[in-house]
Structure 1
């Protein structure tokens, strides 16, 4: 992202004199500039796409620049737009134009901003070309070096959404700024089904954000750094060993950071209910089995099953773009090894006597899921005999009387 912003800035603003010349003759300059091919950032829900965009807005702070001849103009960094309820190309362009007009950085999705959007005058809401030209001019004048578009999945809920999303993305690329957009796997699959000219323009630079894992050294380091930072920010209310428990935490969350945040919040709540001020791995395990984490647990189990078997059963979890084969093989191998360990552990548990199973649980072994019946806890069946049949008949007739 920074490389793209630097390349664009060097080409668009080579000097103050050239900048002013292009600003006052913008239509000619804009026509000569080729549209920017966007970067599609895709990944599983909760994998960190939005977090990447939010973090990028903090890298380049807004400022002002003296362009000479009394022109003190804003100098904007990245702009992060959340589409949410926009349902037209004009609406998206207007929201983008407002983002360029803002004198502070950050994500443009607040209620205050939506109110101002309705109150602003002068933006051409009936002419798409004029709206695009106005937005491009305001963005160039503001020195913006990149646009990031998020939450586009809400535009894909109607029968005509595929065309609308494609047109909206192309309109934003015509602004001639470095352009990044987040897309879930379903949206990417729909874009792949578009004609070749649309695919070439919108999916020529895909970036797949993979969930963290301990299968590769780079990803393991990133995962440990993340949970270590979460533990530090939590201020002592999380009690686990990052290096020792990193693999277990991957199993409970599939390395998805949103699910990690959800499970540690649930685990801390359970610890406080028990009168403790810190949540450990036993609390996280209980949170994993809880009703509150049910949908997340089903997602994790489905993802692990798909990674182990290689079957692509749930399309919303299948990346339509092939990922690096080395990374995929490492994840598959780790999932199979984990499955083998889980089967072996369950076989040992099943072979224990009730007393041995209780001692195993007291020593820190996993407890059975809620509602799971332990062996020997069911109703004891007695052999059928003539005396038992007669006794049952007598009991039935007494109840009828």
Structure 2
């Protein structure tokens, strides 16, 4: 296969390289003292939400997921014959998903957003199978918010979000989805916000969606809070073994840790020189904002 394709993950799994790609340090807002304290708090809160400083858990998790994606990519592009076979006769593979879980607001979705930034960018593949070129995508991302079931997610992957809801049954859609995943070199599938699925009786809808996602083929991550995990634990043993065998538990940051100290220090950046002149803001805005933006 093309050397560019074979090396698409080269240099993307180093921890320091990951840290540089995912860290976001927005410019501080100036002249907050010109606003009412609550208005200033909203402005500052919005800017702080843009900020992202990865902790050790997030860095290690992202590195692990990129490693899994790389292994899958090497398998898909092991040869032109293997690539063509995956396109025209996609294998029926059910992967064991990674469950990223933790308390609400601990930073799970921010870690997934960082993972998306850390993955390799799209690249062009020129292949005799097409007689031309196609753009490869390293990751498929979907939110479970508002999804009716696994079929709707498959349609989103195959047709995009702008579809009329008509696209065949789930079995045919799954085959199409496998073909598209192999064609586009998708090496990781992520389902976020699973807590927004209407679980109904038991957790049958969640189980249907998650099992559908695991049947696409690439390594798969789903993000869940503890309450949904507890519902899944009440499922039968087969579903529990399929869905909860690979948990990754994200814990709140230790207030005495270096990571938390760096986070607070970044929150204060750009305000130190003004705090002595604006005591109302230091006493009102920053504590209020820090309370709202704790990870």
- Equivalent runs, 1:212-231 vs 2, <5 Å: 212-215=253-256, 220-231=257-268
The one of 263, 275, 278 equivalent to 1:276 is 278
Q: Give the conservation status (yes or no) of the 8 Å contact 2:202–2:231.
A: no
Correspondence list, 1:2-401, <5 A: 2-24=66-88, 26-27=89-90, 30-31=91-92, 34-59=93-118, 60-68=120-128, 70-98=131-159, 113=161, 116-118=162-164, 123-124=167-168, 127-156=169-198, 158-160=199-201, 162-215=203-256, 220-232=257-269, 236-237=270-271, 239=272, 276=278, 279-280=281-282, 282-283=283-284, 287=288
Whether the aligned pair in 2 keeps the contact of 1:64 and 1:73 (CA below 8 Å) is: yes
Segments of structure 2 that go 5 or more residues without pairing to the other structure are 1-64
CA contact (8 A) 2:124 2:136 kept: yes
Q: CA deviation at 1:172?
A: 0.6
Tell me if structure 2 keeps the 8 A contact 1:63–1:74: yes
- Unaligned runs of at least 5 residues, structure 1: 100-112, 241-267, 301-401
User: Looking at CA atoms only, which structure, 1 or 2, has the larger radius of gyration?
Assistant: 1
Instruction: Measure, in 2, the Cα distance between the counterparts of 1:46 and 1:189.
Output: 18
CA change 1:183–1:161 in 2 (3 A) is same
Q: Report the alpha carbon displacement of residue 23 of structure 1 after superposing the two structures with TM.
A: 1.8
CA gap 1:72/1:46 in 2 versus in 1, 3 angstroms: same
SS of aligned partner of 1:58: helix
Q: How many residues align?
A: 228
Say if 1:145 and 1:223 are closer, same or farther in 2 by CA, change over 3 A: same
Change (3 A) 1:189 1:12: same
Show the counterpart of 2:29: none
TM-score by length of 1: 0.51
Aligned residues of 1:155 and 1:161 also touching (Cα < 8 A): no
- CA–CA separation in structure 2 for the residues paired with 1:286 and 1:54: 26
Q: How far did 1:75 drift?
A: 0.9
Q: Which has the higher contact order (CA 8 A, sep 6+)?
A: 2
Aligned structure 1 segments of 4 or more residues deviating by more than 6 angstroms: none
How far apart are the structure 2 equivalents of 1:192 and 1:92? Answer: 23
Distance 1:223 1:162, change over 3 A: same
Q: Is the 8 A contact 1:66 1:73 kept in 2?
A: yes
The CA distance in 2 between the partners of 1:56 and 1:187, in whole Å, is 22
Shift of 1:285: 7.7
Conserved 8 A contact 1:54-1:80: no
Separation (CA, whole Å) in 2 of partners of 1:15 and 1:53:
31
Measure the CA separation in 2 of the matches of 1:286 and 1:4: 40
